[in-house]
Amino acid sequence: MLNASLKELSTALTQKKISSAELTKLFLDRISKLNGAFNAFITVDAEKSLAQARVADERIAKGAALPLTGIPAAHKDIFATKGWLTTCGSKMLGNFVSPYDAHVIERFNAAGAVILGKTNMDEFAMGSSSETSFYGSVKNPWNPDFVPGGSSGGSAAAIAARMAPAATGTDTGGSIRQPAALSGLSGLKPTYGLVSRYGMVAFASSLDQGGPMAKSAEDLAMLLNVMAGFDARDSTSIEHPAENYARDLDKPLSGLRIGVPKEHFGEGLSADVGKSVETALKELERLGAKRVSISLPNSGLSVPAYYVIAPAEASSNLSRFDGVRYGHRAKEYRDLADMYRKTRAEGFGAEVRRRILIGTYVLSHGYYDAYYLKAQKIRRLIADDFVEAFKRCDVVIGPTSPTVAFKIGAKAADPVQMYLNDIYTIPANLAGLPGMSIPCGFGANSLPVGLHIVGEYFAEAKMLNVAHQYQLATDWHRREPAGI
């Protein structure tokens, strides 16, 4: 059961081979046993989860089950979850028991899924290693001395250690895809606007997008079917007709044109990752795809532009944390301004403070044109690169991350080195395009390598098709960390 696909779990539940309560208990026991070692969950509430599981069992007994009914899933602690502590990895929200549900949580609840717990993450999703959490670093189940990637590192570690069959994540610059790559999982960042941001703690609103993380592309399709959909409470939610994201999984790849961007195979890419990605591309060619060399000439500017746009939006979004309406408030203060200063100095960790300061500076009087406006123009150039590329190919494929997982602490003191982890994933966020990562081998220290697939707007079904066909022909996605 721990290694079963969501489809297999769904079948086992509807055929009454296992009840949702039993299945939920199985994963809760697994969490009790392993969470101490990996720190993947911030909050677990067995009673709440089992109560939901019993309701799911009644629904299954009545024959009213949907595909995810009774299946437990973990949620990144960025999603407001009614009655659950929702910390976003921060001391600032250390006492925040959410009075409402995010749209994504409503969707999972309506589907009859069981909330297995809230997963650890970089504070306010700012990080690529899950080390900036106020609740401690997450450890990579493939080797606990290494990071699982971030910011959705708790969700990644939970699935990799088989503490959860599926999880949600969010991706502003790579926070679903990079931890999926570093933890040997499949993860999908949908087209911007496909999954509602309502109740998802805001980091950089023009980039933030929620999405699923799981063991396979087939599982991702089932999860996306539940998560995607219009929501009037998110002003940038797209009114896009409902799709079955699993509809094209079985299509052959013959004739598929794969664009391989030369800029993603140059300086900075480590040899082990390059080799696995090259082997994966050959496998896709063997499956009938055709390789096309493409260029994304401005992608090297994506990190600099991102580190203007994301902190600018963050400095605005995080101004709401002032100790007045919710969250942490400093104990002693002289006056209102002093309360703000102390509350925010105490409540935010070092990386969050740093990004707020960058954002405040680039938006401050006299600097707007040189930084924010300039970054938005470069954002256009990066998006235009993809428009050109997609004239010649159907999907763009390359490495998800320049290296496999690095040691905990290795980059913590050097923000710029940390930021460069997301060099291949950020362009899709800036353009608003869907992107995903699937496992494609192992590199240094026997750690997983991720293959990055970017599609055109709303091409999720096609990307999942490519990933599923690859996963039918390979078994990287079936590998699991030894000895746990």
Partner 1 sequence: MPLTLEEVRRIAELARIGVSDAEARAVQAQLNNIFELIGQMQKVDTDGIEPMTHAQGSALRLREDKATEENQREQLQSVAPQVEAGLYLVPRVIE
* Residues tagged active-site: 76, 151, 175
- In the DSSP assignment, the letter for residue 256 is P
Spatial separation of the C-alpha atoms in residues 251 and 248, rounded to whole Å: 5
The structure tokens 């763009």 sit at 396
Question: What are the residues whose beta carbons fall under 8 Å from the beta carbon of 119, sequence distance 6 or more?
Answer: 40, 41, 42, 74, 75, 76, 77, 152, 154, 155, 157, 158, 167
Q: Cβ of residue 40: shortest distance to partner 1, in angstroms? A: 25
Of 275, 72, 260, the residue nearest 166 (C-alpha): 72
Contact between 352 and 126 under an 8 Å Cβ cutoff? The reply is yes
| φ, ψ for residue 69, nearest 5 deg | -60, 125
Burial call 223-240: b when 16+ CB within 10 Å, e when fewer: bbbbbbbebeebeebbee
CA torsion through residues 432, 438, 441, 446, sign: positive
Q: Count other C-beta atoms under 10 Å from residue 246's C-beta.
A: 21
Q: How far is the CB of 425 from partner 1 (least distance, A)?
A: 15
CA–CA gap between residue 113 and residue 69 (Å, rounded):
5
Q: Which is nearer to partner 1, 32 or 235 (CB)?
A: 235
Which one, of 114, 122, 118, 113, lies nearest residue 149 by Cα? 122
Name the residue among 213, 157, 167 with its Cα closest to residue 190: 213
Choice between 251 and 374, CB closer to partner 1 = 374
The three-state secondary structure class of 327 is coil
Instruction: Find, among 205, 267, 244, the residue nearest to 402 by Cα.
Output: 267
Residue 348: CB minimum distance to partner 1, A:
7
Q: Which residue has the tokens 């990895």?
A: 89
Q: What are phi and psi of 16, to 5 degrees?
A: 60, 30
| CB closer to partner 1 out of 155 and 429 | 429
CA separation, residue 375 to residues 19, 119, 187, 287 (Å): 52, 32, 27, 40
* Cα–Cα distance measured from residue 130 to residue 127, given in angstroms and rounded to the nearest whole number: 6
Closer by beta carbon to partner 1, 19 or else 315: 315
Rounded to whole angstroms, how far apart are CA atoms 102 and 273?
36
